[in-house]
Structure formats: structure tokens, C-alpha cells
Structure 1
Amino acid sequence: MSHVGVPRGTARKRRSVALLATGVLTIPVLAGCTSDGEDPTSVAVPQDIAPASRDRVADGSTLNWAIDAVPSTLNAFQADADGATTRITGALLPSLFPMDAKGEPRLNPDYLESAKVIEREPKQVVLYKLNQQAVWSDGREIGAPDFVAQWRALSGKDSAFWTARNAGYERIEKIERGKDDLQVRVTFSKPYADWRSLFSPLYPKEVTGSPGTFNDGARTTLRNTAGPFRLRSVNKPKGTVVLDRNPRWWGDEARLDSLVFRAVEPGKRTDALAEGTVDVADIDPATANSIALAARYRGGNGGPPAHGPGAGITPAAALRSWALAHGSDEEAAETARAAREETREAVAVYAAEQKSLSGFAVRKSLEPSYTQLALNGESGPLSDDRVRRAIARTLDRQELADAVLKPLGLPAKPPGSHLALAGQPGYKDGSGALGERDTKEAQALLADAGWTPGGALRSTRDTKAGSEAEKKDEGEKPAAGEKAADEDKDEKAEKAGKKDEKAEDTEKDDKASREEGEYTVGDDKPGSRSSGGSGVTAQDKQPGGVAGAYAPAGTAAPAPAAVKSRLGKDGKPLSLRFVLPSGPGSQSLRTVGEKIVAMLDSIGISTQVTKVADDSYFKDHIASGDYDLALYSWPATAYPATDGRPIFAKPEPATDGSLLVAQNYTRVGSDHIDQLFDRAVAELDADASRDLLKQADARIWAAAGSIPLYQRPQLVAVDKKLANIGAFGFAAPRYQDIGFTARQAAGPPANGKK
């Protein structure tokens, strides 16, 4: 699976967001997505993790989990933290309010007895009561000193700490010890609705207490942890991060002895699964197809395989091959025997792969993220909101969602919000603020903005005519060559006039030919000058014109119909640069991009598709603003008031003349949207805060800088013997419950050897 990074970052930890490739996959549709009478726009697709009670999960064994690469840092608050950082630290460090299956933050009883706002006036105060059994792996209790150290590191007041964000922490005025270190009082200088987002993950004071350990010490190791697992080793050359069961863990004991995160490139995951080097891996539809086919593979039953090498060999072809291999023609027999041996070897290899893959299941759901069409409004045609709205109203979002999700058997409801996804409490379809698909209305918006069919061509002619008129008005004298040419034309015109006078009686009925600049197209009559006797004559009125010419000398050739239908203004066509990733894991984005190109083409908007390498797509094009149209994804969040603001905030000019865009890579925003976010993040009443966010979302739709297209699919290959792991959807994994329902029979241990 290709991961083209889009960090959702200064507000929360930076997380890479995959641009997922999707192909055709025929596997059963998820059941139970909605029930009778439920509104499908507000129902989340359930997670698919093969749930099992802990007493059904065997104790012991090793699980190998594929990641893209060993993370650059284990400090989730640094700029280069990625999805692997999040996954690994989730098993090692406290998360006070992890997301549940509905995308809501839920108190984690392993770390907290309670946490609530105990005062609102004159200032907001939150009291945390920590689990009395909660300790770090060195035996020290988790307490107020850890909260204080993390606040100081992330508050933004000390630039020596290299942090990716400080949202929320900068609002804290002070942190105090309560009755003891297990009670933590946090006082805010300004109200903060998303206070539950803070201190997750919580690092020990040994990491956050000094810039040195924060900046460098936590990049490759964590000596002190407090999760169901502890860190044993990080080996970049081997591409592994190994975790062991934490003997000091006070909660439900981890079922696994060890958990190995193994770096496997997305394109090599089918082989890794077949070889047994990984038990769990995020996969693309091609690998999912291989697993689905493996379940139907028939081999070793005496007949030809259902698919794969040798599947297309009919009984008649097999008989002919056998006859050739045993025939008297030695050269033909040798060739036939070699071909038969090659086929046997290929069938054997394929059968072994299919046997291995048949031990896996494809767990699928929808990721807590959506893919959008981004319209760069910084300059050019898209700086006009009428053009952006016209493009948005040209898109058939349902068709685009269907193209990605329906082949996978997943619900294909286009997202209706930028700030929440279906199933989350704050979700409401706000797309009505933009309007439904309506190409006529889109064309009207474009016309209002000055973009009209053939506008570029008309402007060119008008410019030329204007130049000639200007030349006459200014009394410009023609050059010598021009003067001679004019005199020659006058002489020819005089001769032509005499000839016309002689032919006047025979051309009486052709009055149009006597009007300067008109075309003559008539029936083929005796005495007329035909262009070949085809029944239609066409003649330049000026003498000497070539038979078949339709216009006077100097008239531009008619433009093709396709060009006339293109939109233009002021001599320029409406053409947009559409940047797409070119990697093998980004096929679905290119498919969606092709459909968008066709939709825009239908109303006369030209697009220039530029395909770039995945590793440069975000950094060199999206973040830098080197695009007009682009596709990328944002993750969902339980804290949209905090996380959404930097994504949709109005860009501000910098002292050097550039724009400070934060994470608003579309460069589209407004003061009103910013004000609504600011009010929402300071509103402690949850319902009132959500109402403000819904208002902000409606205005984001109306601004048409970001058009959500579909919620991304989540496909995970999982060993069929594993329980409580797979496509988690919104929810955070509960690592201590993951394990094999039967004793592990295959798969490499932590050292990678079977």
C-alpha cells in the first residue's frame, strides 16, 4: 500500500496519510452497516477484527506485523513521526482517551480513575485521578511530575524543544499536584474544549524533562514505558522493532509473548504473506484479490487449477502437448517437454503460494480518513470562488466513490463533512451549502466569472481587429512592401470589377456574392465555378482565389468544434494543472483523476495531468502549492476544533511576501471560518461546540477549496488464527487482547527465523 504523506500536524501529532490504491476486488459486502430506519449518512462501517473473548485467545507466541519502514523517531510529537510511530507507541505508552469504534474519545481505565472539568469560572480546571496501580517499567508511579514535564516541553515557550505542535498545551496556565502525585490539577488560561486530547501519548519525565532527551534520546529508544508491552530493540538494518510483554503491566496481561513490527515495502507484501514472514499487513486490492483467489484455488485433485499457470490449458491442448512431447519429431518433442516442465514448475510455485495465502483472511472496513479534491485558490483561475464552485458542482461524487469502494464491497456514501465522518457524534452532511451536482449551474457560474465557450478564440480575433483599427486611427503609413502589395491588390480588384460587370446578367440571383466578405455556397449550376462538380460550389469572392476556399484572404481558418467548446477569457483557455502520484500503489487516485478530467472536459475545462513520484508528491507539490488540482487524504479526528483549524485557517502573508498556510494547502479560507473554530475550541458545552463546527463546515463547503470524495477503504490481511486484530476503523487497537486462537503453528519468531 502506497503512503504519500500528508501530516495532520501542528494541532495534533503528525500522522502520515496514505493515498490508497484500489483495484477490483470481488469479496462479500460488509453486513450490518445499517439497520432498518437508520440514517445511512450517520452510520459508521463497523470494524472487522475477528473479535474473541480473552479466554479464547491462547497465551504466548509471536506476532509479526508489517509496517512501511522502521520509524525515524519514537517521539510522537516530532515533525517526522509517522503512522509506524503511532502504532508502536500505542503498545508502549499511556493514552488517556483513546478513540472508540464510533470515533469518540473514551476514558482509559488502565490509566485513569476519572478525569473531568471541576471548575469553569473564573478559569477552567481539569482534575485527573490516576490509576493507583499505574507505573512506568522502572517501577516509578505515573504522576504529576510527568504531566508537568510534558506541558513544559510542548507549551511552545522553550524553543530548545523541537516540537511539531503545541495546540492546547499553550493554553495551560499551571499544573499542580493534588492530594498526592496521583491527582493532577490542570488550570487553563483560556477555555479549551478539547482538553481530552492532551497528554496522549504520555511520555515519562525522563524523556520530556530536557531538550536533549526529547530531541534525540527518544528517537531510537524508550527505556521507560508504561503499556502492555515494553521495547526490546530497534534494528534498522534488519527492519524490525521488537516488543516484549511488560512484566510490570498492571492491567489485563498481554496474550502475546512478543510483538514484532517488520518493515515490508507495500509491493512486497504478497510475497511476505506467502513466505510466512508476516502475520498481519495492510494490503492493496491486488493482494486482497490474491487472497480471495487462494480460497477458491483447487490443486492436487487431478484436474487443472481454477486459475493461475496452467488454468487455460484445455484437455485437447494437454493431449496435443503430450503427443508432441512423445512424438517422433525430436526437435518438436524437446521443445514440448521444456514447455511442459516450465508449466509444471510454475504451477507448483503458484500452488504453494496459494496454499500459504489460503491461511489468511481479508479484514475490511473504512479508514477514519477521507480523500478530497483540493483546489489551489492562491492564484490563477481558481482564485475566483465562482470557478471553484463550478468545478465542485460538476463533479459526480457518487460516481467517484462508487469507482473506489463498490468493487471492494464497501458502502460508497460520499462524505458530507470536512470535520467528522459518518458515525461520529459531530457528523452532519453540510454539502448543501455548496449545492448538488448541476452542470448547467456550473456553466452559469463560469460565464459569470467571464469564462465562455470559444472565449479565447473570439478574444484573439477581437485583438487582431482592434490592432488593425488602431493602425488606421493612428494614420500609420504602410511599409514599402505593404504599399506595393496594396497597389497590386487594387489593380487586381479593378480587373475583377470589369470582369464582374460582364458576368452581371448571369449572376443576378447570387446577391450574396456582391457583398464584401460574404461566402458563396450554392447549387452546382451551369456557368458557375465548381470545386469539382460535387453539387456544391465554394468560391472566394476575390479573383484568383483557389476553388474550394470558403473565406476571403486573411480570414482565420474555422476552429474545430472541440476547440470552440473550450472555455476561455481574455485570449486564454481555462486550463488547470492536475498533479497526481505515479507510484504503483496510487492507481485508485489516477483512476479517480481520469474520471474528474472527463467530468471537467464535459463543460469545457481543460486539464493538464502531471504525474510525479510518490515520494515528492506531497512535499514538492502539495505543500509548496505547485498544483491547481490534486488528490490527497486527511484523517478523521475526535478533536476537530483543534485539528481542523490549521487545515482550513485563512492563510496569512509573511514578511517576505509569501503565505503562511499552516496545513491549509488549498490556500482558501476566511476570517469567519477562523472565528467559528476559535469559538468552538473555547466552548465547553459539547453540543454548542459541535453546532459551531457544523457552521464552520458549511462555510468550508461554500468556499469550495476542498471537496471530500470518499472515505478511504481499509484492507488488512490477517492470519485466520488471529483474533482481535484487523481493520480497526476508528478504534485504537487493544494490544493486550491480540493473539492466536490456537497455538501458533507457523511464522517466524522475533529473530525472524522459523
Structure 2
Amino acid sequence: MDATTRRLTRGLVAATALALAVSGCSSSSGSGSGAAASQSAIPRAGAEDINPQPLENVKDGGELRIPLQQWIDQWNPYQVDGTYGDSVEIMKMIEPLLFRIDSSGVYQPVPEFLQSAKVVSTTPQTVLYTLNPKAKWSDGKPLSYLDFKAVWQAANGSNPAFNTSTTLGYNQISDVSQGDDPTQVKVTFSTPFADWQSLFYPLLPAAGIGTPDQFNKGWVEQVPITGGAFKLGAADKSAQTLTVVPDPSWWGAKPKLDKFTYRVLSTAAMTQAFLNNEIDYASAGRADSYSQLAADKDGVIRSSSPWDEVHISFGSNGPLASQQVRQALEKAIDRPALVKVANQGVPVQFPLLGNHLLMTNQAGYQDNSGEWGKYDLAGAQKLLTAAGWQDAGAGKPRTKDGQPLELHFILSDGSPQQSVDLATATQNMLLQAGVKIDIDKVPANDFDEKYINVGKFDLAMWRNTGSFPPALVIPFYQAPQGDNVFQNYSKLSTPEIDSLLKQASQTLDPAQAAKLYNQADAKIWELGHTVELYQRPYVTAYRKGLANFGSAGLADFDYTKVGWQK
């Protein structure tokens, strides 16, 4: 991984990557020569690169060794501290995943959990789910409307004691009830919600989230109830390793692998761990790692274009409480120059990103950065002067009321050199405008919980990943409610942005929804919330022979099919 990855689940949580690293999650078609690897490293919009193999070509048994960026404390993906990308991905293995997104970004029902799901009425919008009668929780209870109802009640914002990561969609539901029989679930909306398939993703059991205490604390360092093809195996916090193993009570096709083993590694250590045959994939999205990994005879490079953006977020305290100051920082940052820093030495283009809500290969995308995304040093200096920060001379921070304009850029101490280079380049750019930047490295395991989640930063850089469909990005920019900031760690928003995002999420016409999202995005740029840098392709080295897994683009994996090619 390269930039801290904060990943929200693609249906509930969106994806936040906290480090500038790429956790290569996807699949590939790959042979293993160097020439083939370099050809594979050309991302294709909407494509996946996972070496797809029929099950008869995949061995029974074996292990997949996966790097983790940080230890997982909170497993509940609906809880505000549970949105870390790797934990969300594991929860999609061990809890019911009603839909699986395909490589073109379309939700497909997962038959082991869902026989059908459809909108049966539009006035009001009503969705009828028909569950697989074989689907059950690890405590023996069948999946039912009670589980949907518990998720809705916990996540709809009506009880602030449930510290939820987002209320989006859930706060538009008016009722959850049983249909004609116990396998049917009827969800009725008070206002339309276009991305309804992104809800209950994954589904959690009513028995595990029924009270605020269960919801907030019951999934810390444990998963009390599972409902998928896999379950957690051993977890050793001191060794920073955990395993995911097949659940013998699973009613679907038997998984191919015996075990998934996860190990916490710093980003800098992942390349060497792959070369030492200690893990089975590692990010090749940086020049130093790409050159080593592409030359490894036991690896193959796989790449695709996922929902994955790298940005610099601004805080809202001190000098940054001023919109003029934040806008000045936007103008003082040369985005194309930073993209060149990130892209150097990797033969895959990192597209400059002009949108907070949509990726460059996503329907409806347009560049809304305008004057705020364009490098304009003189304009930045003018804004700072207007905000009361006086020029103190070249190479010196501006001052106001005798205080220097000094800000802190928070960086994980596990970040790779690429992230350090980006932060340093930003530091140099902002000094030209009279803004002194201190780069503060903090422990990787504290980056989220003690800094980002609580808004303790002036500038910080991370990746949001897997935030598809666009409604899932809304919690990054919606207005906080009391102590709940959702995933808007900058705590910056406006009623106009809130209203446009809400309208977009309720608009069933995709073209009209995209228009509203783009209007909101232009206002987010104007607010000075976040400077978008680039859409990051998954460029990752995988162990040769790994099948049905790799660089998946927009798609979800079917982990029961992942294994080693015969």
C-alpha cells in the first residue's frame, strides 16, 4: 500500500486508504514473463486483471499470505472506527454479502444469500429481498428481516448512541418488515434512494448489533457472529498476525484455499517480504518497488483502474478555519507536479483527478476543479494577504498578530518514500506562498484513531478506495451532526453541499444524479475541503499461479474461488 488506505465498504463504508500504498486487491490474467507483466500493467477502464480460472484448474487447499497495513481493532464496518479497508474486505468474506459488484460496476445478487432483490414499488420506493432459506448465522439463526431491521435502526441516525460511520440511505428508510414468508424482507423508503443495492453490505446479525454497547464495543478485537463461507481463525496481536479459514457449516461451494494469513507489515517492508517469499502480493505502484517486483521471476504485475483516489485533506482548526486560507493552499499546490512525483518510475499513467465524487473512468465524470485546482502562486499570496497574513519575505512564514503561519502535515511513520516525497514537495510549494509546513510522522497504528478520525491534523494525505456507487462518497463531505463527523474528518461542509448531495442520492435518473453530484463537487472545491491529486491504478505484484485474485478494478472477489492454479 502506498498512501494510508481508508476503505469504506463499497456499500456502507466507502474506502479509505491511509498511506499512499496500494493494497492490490483484484485479479489478473497473468502469465509471468517480464514482457507479459509490462503489458499487464496497462490499466483498462472498468477491467479486472485477476487470472480468471475455472474451478477445475484451481488446486484444492493451500494458503494465501496477505499483508496488512495496520492491526484491526474495530471489526464492525458500520461503526465509525470500523472503516479501515482491510477489515472491511475481511468482513465481506465472513459476513453475508448480498450483492457482489462485477468488473463493470454492476451489482449482482450472491445466490448463497439472495435469491432475488427488486424494486416492487416506486411510490413509495419499496424493495423486496428474497433470502436463500439455507443462509444462517454461526449461532444457528436463519437470516431474516430482523437483521435488516437492526442494521437500519443502528445506522439511520435516530439514536446517536450508535456511533455510525454513515447514515446515508438508512436515514431514508421508513420501515423494514417481513414479506409473505420468513425468507422475504420488505424495505420501504420515505424518500427515493438510487443506490439501494449498496445498503446492508455486508449484512450484520441483529444479535450482535441490537444495542449501542453491542454495536460500538461488541466487535472490538473480535467478531462475535459470522455468516459467510469463512470465519476468523487464530489472531495474535503481539505477532500482528491473523487467519481467516473456511467455515465447515457453510452451505455453498467449498472454498478452494485452506487459509488466508494476514500479517501487519510497514509499507516499506512489503516489497522485501514479497521478494523473500513471505507474502503473496505487494504494491508495485512506486518506482522503487516496481523495479524490484517486476524483475522477480516468481511474480507477475497485474493492474486495473479501480475507485481509488489520493488527496490532501485540510483540517478546520486554527488558521484553516478561514476558507480564504484553505483556498490559498489549494492555489499554492501544483497538482500536476505532485502527480509526476508519484508516477515517476512506474510505467502506468496516474490520471490527474478533478472530481471528489467520481473517478475518471466513471459515468458522469467531469473536472470541476476550476480555479481551485490550478496552480496560481500569485493568487494564493493575494488570498493570504486578504485573510490578514502578512508577507515576511522569501522563505519565511507569513505572520498575523505576531504569530507565524505554521501548519502540521500528519504522516504515518509506516508511509513509503513516495508519500514522504509528496509531503516534502507540498511543503516546499507552500513555503513559496509563505506557509511553513512541519511534517509530523506518527505511529502507523495511531494514524486513524488518534489523528485522522478525531480531526487532529492541518494537512493529511490518504486514499479513499472502493467508494462506489457515488452515494458512498457522501459521508466524506456531509455536515457533522454533534460529535458524529461520519467520515468527514475535516469537519467542513455547507448546507448547499449537503442539499446537493442529498438530492443526488435521491435521484433515480443517473444523468440527472450525475449533474447534481458535479454541482456539489464544484462547491467542495470552492470550500477548500480537499485537494484531489490523482486516481491511483492498482499496480501490484502477485505470486505466479494465483488464480481468481488480483487487481479487480471496480469488482468484488469471490473468495471461495481464490486459489492456486494447477
TM-score of the two chains, using structure 2 as the length reference? 0.83
Structure 2 residue 441 is the aligned partner of structure 1 residue 612? yes
Q: Which amino acid aligns with 2:439?
A: T
CA distance in 2, matches of 1:701, 1:162: 28
CA displacement 1:559-600 (0-9 Å, x = unmatched): xxxx36978577769734241426252422221222223334
CA distance in 2, matches of 1:270, 1:585: 13
Q: Tell me by how many angstroms 1:720 deviates.
A: 0.4
Structure 2 residue 340 is the aligned partner of structure 1 residue 402? yes
Q: Which of 97, 100, 107 is the matching residue for 1:98?
A: 100
Structure 2 residue 313 is the aligned partner of structure 1 residue 374? yes
Q: Which amino acid aligns with 1:19?
A: A
Q: Which of 327, 350, 361 is the matching residue for 1:423?
A: 361
Partner of 1:330: none
Structure 2 residue 53 is the aligned partner of structure 1 residue 28? no
Partner of 2:526: 702
Q: 1:235 to 1:688 in 2, by over 3 A?
A: same
Aligned residue for 1:28, secondary structure, equals helix
Structure 2 residue 57 is the aligned partner of structure 1 residue 78? no
Q: 1:7 to 1:574 in 2, by over 3 A?
A: farther
CA distance in 2, matches of 1:620, 1:222: 23
Structure 2 residue 228 is the aligned partner of structure 1 residue 290? no
Q: 1:400 to 1:118 in 2, by over 3 A?
A: same
Q: Tell me by how many angstroms 1:166 deviates.
A: 4.0
Partner of 2:64: 63
CA distance in 1, matches of 2:403, 2:58: 64
- Higher helix residue share: 1
Q: 1:567 to 1:287 in 2, by over 3 A?
A: closer
Q: Tell me by how many angstroms 1:735 deviates.
A: 0.6
Q: Is contact 2:300–2:544 with CA below 8 Å preserved after alignment?
A: yes
Q: Tell me by how many angstroms 1:185 deviates.
A: 0.8
Between the two proteins, the alignment pairs up a number of residues equal to: 550
Q: Tell me by how many angstroms 1:415 deviates.
A: 0.9
Partner of 2:116: 114
Structure 2 residue 98 is the aligned partner of structure 1 residue 89? no
CA displacement 1:70-122 (0-9 Å, x = unmatched): 5324433334433332222222222223333344544334432332222232x
CA distance in 1, matches of 2:399, 2:331: 21
Q: Tell me by how many angstroms 1:165 deviates.
A: 4.3
CA distance in 1, matches of 2:138, 2:460: 46
Partner of 1:313: none
Q: Which amino acid aligns with 2:97?
A: S
Q: Which amino acid aligns with 1:18?
A: L
Partner of 2:462: 632
CA distance in 1, matches of 2:42, 2:284: 23
Q: 1:21 to 1:191 in 2, by over 3 A?
A: closer
CA distance in 2, matches of 1:94, 1:740: 25
Q: 1:116 to 1:685 in 2, by over 3 A?
A: farther
CA displacement 1:244-275 (0-9 Å, x = unmatched): 33455454442223333344454544554455
- Higher strand residue share: 2
Q: Is contact 1:113–1:130 with CA below 8 Å preserved after alignment?
A: yes
Aligned residue for 1:585, secondary structure, equals coil
- Shifted more, 145-154 versus 170-179: the winner is 145-154
Q: Which amino acid aligns with 2:299?
A: F
Q: Tell me by how many angstroms 1:31 deviates.
A: 5.5
Q: 1:225 to 1:670 in 2, by over 3 A?
A: closer
Q: Is contact 1:29–1:409 with CA below 8 Å preserved after alignment?
A: no
Q: Tell me by how many angstroms 1:740 deviates.
A: 0.8
Partner of 1:669: 493
CA distance in 2, matches of 1:231, 1:383: 44
Greater RCO structure (CA 8 Å; 6+ sep): 2
Q: Which amino acid aligns with 2:462?
A: Y
| Pairs within 5 Å for 1:36-435 | 43=45, 46-68=47-69, 71-81=72-82, 82-121=84-123, 123-136=124-137, 141-157=142-158, 163-209=164-210, 214=215, 218-219=219-220, 222=223, 225-237=226-238, 239-270=240-271, 272-282=273-283, 285=286, 286-293=288-295, 295=296, 358-365=297-304, 368-380=307-319, 382-432=320-370, 434=372
Partner of 1:319: none
The structure number with the bigger radius of gyration is 1
Aligned residue for 1:64, secondary structure, equals strand
Q: 1:5 to 1:703 in 2, by over 3 A?
A: same
Q: Which amino acid aligns with 1:423?
A: N
Q: 1:402 to 1:48 in 2, by over 3 A?
A: farther
Q: Tell me by how many angstroms 1:660 deviates.
A: 7.3
Q: 1:390 to 1:109 in 2, by over 3 A?
A: same
Q: Tell me by how many angstroms 1:158 deviates.
A: 5.5
Q: 1:582 to 1:126 in 2, by over 3 A?
A: closer
Partner of 2:25: none
Q: 1:120 to 1:251 in 2, by over 3 A?
A: same
CA distance in 2, matches of 1:621, 1:209: 29
Structure 2 residue 477 is the aligned partner of structure 1 residue 648? yes
Q: Which amino acid aligns with 2:428?
A: A
CA distance in 2, matches of 1:689, 1:594: 38
Structure 2 residue 17 is the aligned partner of structure 1 residue 17? yes
Q: Is contact 2:13–2:77 with CA below 8 Å preserved after alignment?
A: yes
CA distance in 1, matches of 2:365, 2:110: 24
Structure 1: 5+ residue stretches without partners: 35-42, 296-357, 458-562, 743-754
Partner of 1:597: 427
Q: Is contact 1:57–1:739 with CA below 8 Å preserved after alignment?
A: yes
Structure 2 residue 522 is the aligned partner of structure 1 residue 583? no
Q: Tell me by how many angstroms 1:421 deviates.
A: 1.3
Q: 1:592 to 1:128 in 2, by over 3 A?
A: same
CA distance in 1, matches of 2:503, 2:271: 49
Q: 1:701 to 1:239 in 2, by over 3 A?
A: closer
Q: Is contact 1:365–1:410 with CA below 8 Å preserved after alignment?
A: no
Q: Is contact 1:456–1:573 with CA below 8 Å preserved after alignment?
A: no
Q: Which amino acid aligns with 2:92?
A: G
Q: Is contact 2:312–2:532 with CA below 8 Å preserved after alignment?
A: yes
Structure 2: 5+ residue stretches without partners: 23-34
Q: 1:259 to 1:446 in 2, by over 3 A?
A: closer
Q: Which amino acid aligns with 2:38?
A: P
